[in-house]
């Protein structure tokens, strides 16, 4: 019986994946003991952000599984998962990574359970965003500033081609910003309705004159 309980516990801690470099907000919270490993990897909600409705087809790959309900405004960092609402706190107190505008930033995803994948999207907060307000769709640009998309379809015929390496690394060119901003990294799955949401807090140390934050 103890072996069964241990196996169930191990499976519950998988929860699929996170951004390990630069360390996401969830990863830093895990290091600080604010969340456990399951909570680190279970920032999971419906795909197609910034969509707000479930049951939508992927315009690029209409045979992929339709989306589940995307995260609500104010619960984007936790991905609607109540066990991680500490990640949704507004404010400027979050640990930040120093970066520069137009820098190539390497993003590393680590998976505890790999899915056939359709894409990764990277969003950034608007120049005039307010860090003292909860993260919402209005705080982010409407479209990702960077995207990596896998083209093979239907997904059930291309399991190997759509299974990403572990870790997966992307060299992302950052847009022009100044001061504190939030990057939202979203890993969208082809064979389920979900995606995995990771927030990374950035401090743009250059003086591009883009905004006053």
CATH number at residue 131: 2.70.50.50
Name the pTM for this structure.
Answer: 0.88
pLDDT tens figures, 11-45: 444 568 889 889 999 888 888 887 766 676 567 89
Number of folded domains in the chain?
1
pLDDT of amino acid 16? 80
% the chain with pLDDT above 90 = 70
Any idea which of 37-41, 77-81, 115-119, 193-197 has the lowest mean pLDDT?
Answer: 37-41
Whether residue 82 lies inside any domain: the answer is: yes
Q: For residue 121, what are the CA distances in angstroms to 6, 177, 199?
A: 35, 18, 12
pLDDT tens figures, 146-170: 999 999 999 999 999 999 999 999 9
pLDDT of amino acid 11? 41
Higher pLDDT, 40 or 185: 185
Whether residue 2 lies inside any domain: the answer is: no
Q: Quick one: DSSP state of residue 47?
A: S
Whether residue 212 lies inside any domain: the answer is: no
| 107 DSSP β-pair partners | 170
Whether residue 3 lies inside any domain: the answer is: no
CA–CA separation, 42 vs 81, rounded Å? 8
- What is the pLDDT confidence band of residue 10, given thresholds at 50, 70 and 90? very low
Q: What tokens appear for 32 in the block?
A: 């600080």
pLDDT of amino acid 194? 94
Task: Give the three-state DSSP class for 3.
Answer: helix
Rg (C-alpha) for the chain, rounded Å, is 17
CA 185, chain centre distance (Å) = 3
Q: Characterize the bridge pairing of strands 17-21 and 104-111.
A: antiparallel
Whether residue 178 lies inside any domain: the answer is: yes
Read off the pLDDT of each residue in 133-154 and give the average, rounded to a whole number: 98
pLDDT tens figures, 62-75: 999 999 999 999 99
Whether residue 210 lies inside any domain: the answer is: no
pLDDT of amino acid 140? 98
Whether residue 52 lies inside any domain: the answer is: yes
Any idea which of 8-12, 121-125, 126-130, 206-210 has the lowest mean pLDDT?
Answer: 8-12
Q: Which residue has the tokens 């309705």?
A: 193
pLDDT of amino acid 3? 36
User: For residue 165, which of 153, 154, 152, 150 has the smallest C-alpha distance?
Assistant: 150
Domain with 175, as residue range(s), is: 16-204
CA–CA separation, 80 vs 87, rounded Å? 11
Write the DSSP assignment of 104-159 as a string of letters. Answer: EEEEEEEESS---EEEEEEEEB-TT--TTS---GGGB-SS-SEEEE----SGGG-T
Whether residue 142 lies inside any domain: the answer is: yes
């Amino acid at each position: 019986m103890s072996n069964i309980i241990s196996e169930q516990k191990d499976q519950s801690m998988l929860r699929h994946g996170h951004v390990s470099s630069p360390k996401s907000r969830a990863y830093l919270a895990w290091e600080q003991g604010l969340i456990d490993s399951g909570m680190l990897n279970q920032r999971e909600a419906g795909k197609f952000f910034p969509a707000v409705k479930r049951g939508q087809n992927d315009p690029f790959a209409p045979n992929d599984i339709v989306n589940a309900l995307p995260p609500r405004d104010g619960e984007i960092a936790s991905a609607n998962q109540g066990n991680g609402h500490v990640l949704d706190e507004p404010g400027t107190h979050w640990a930040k990574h120093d970066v520069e505008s137009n820098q190539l930033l390497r993003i590393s995803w680590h998976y505890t359970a790999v899915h056939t994948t359709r894409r990764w999207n990277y969003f950034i907060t608007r120049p005039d965003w307010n860090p003292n307000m909860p993260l919402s769709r209005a705080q982010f640009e409407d479209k990702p500033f960077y995207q990596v998309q896998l083209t093979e379809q239907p997904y059930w015929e291309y399991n190997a081609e759509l299974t990403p390496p572990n870790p997966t690394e992307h060299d992302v060119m950052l847009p022009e910003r100044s001061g504190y901003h939030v990057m939202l990294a979203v890993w969208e799955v082809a064979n389920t309705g979900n995606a995995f949401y990771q927030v990374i807090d950035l401090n743009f140390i250059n003086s591009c004159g883009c905004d006053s934050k």
